[in-house]
């Protein structure tokens, strides 16, 4: 799914992370820190994709084992907005942030 985020994409500010301007920022500031708390990384499993005009709604689940041995099973929804060239220019990510906080607090 990372390939859908063009170099000019950004992630909306949600109060926990600064706005991200591209895929490299997302990997460095969001995915990388989470992956460091998981034994074998995060497995993202796409469940459903719906496209309406210039928006795609992508639902998937994430499965992993935390470094402390507990499971990390989170659900995600991305709302992706595309420009006229098919590049994602904005991604809104919805997930259980309480679970993410628990992962960082206990690993």
pLDDT score of 72 more than 90: yes
For residue 87, the Cα-to-chain-centroid distance in whole angstroms is: 17
User: What tens digit of pLDDT does each residue of 43-67 get?
Assistant: 999 999 999 999 999 999 999 999 9
pTM of the model: 0.74
pLDDT score of 3 more than 80: no
The residue-averaged pLDDT of 8-21 equals 49
pLDDT score of 5 more than 70: no
18 SS3 class: coil
Asked if 82 and 54 touch (Cβ cutoff 8 Å), the reply is yes
The residue-averaged pLDDT of 63-75 equals 97
CA dihedral of residues 83, 2, 90, 50 (deg, nearest 10) = 70
């Amino acid at each position: 799914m990372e390939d859908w985020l063009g170099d000019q994409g950004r992630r909306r500010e949600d109060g926990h992370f600064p706005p991200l301007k591209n895929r490299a920022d997302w990997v460095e500031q969001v995915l990388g820190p989470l992956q460091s708390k998981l034994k074998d990384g995060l497995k993202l499993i796409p469940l459903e994709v719906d496209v309406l005009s210039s928006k795609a709604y992508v639902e998937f689940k994430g499965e992993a084992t935390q470094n402390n041995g507990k499971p990390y099973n989170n659900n995600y929804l991305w709302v992706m907005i595309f420009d006229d060239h098919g590049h994602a220019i904005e991604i809104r990510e919805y997930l259980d942030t309480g679970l993410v906080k628990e992962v960082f607090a206990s690993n």
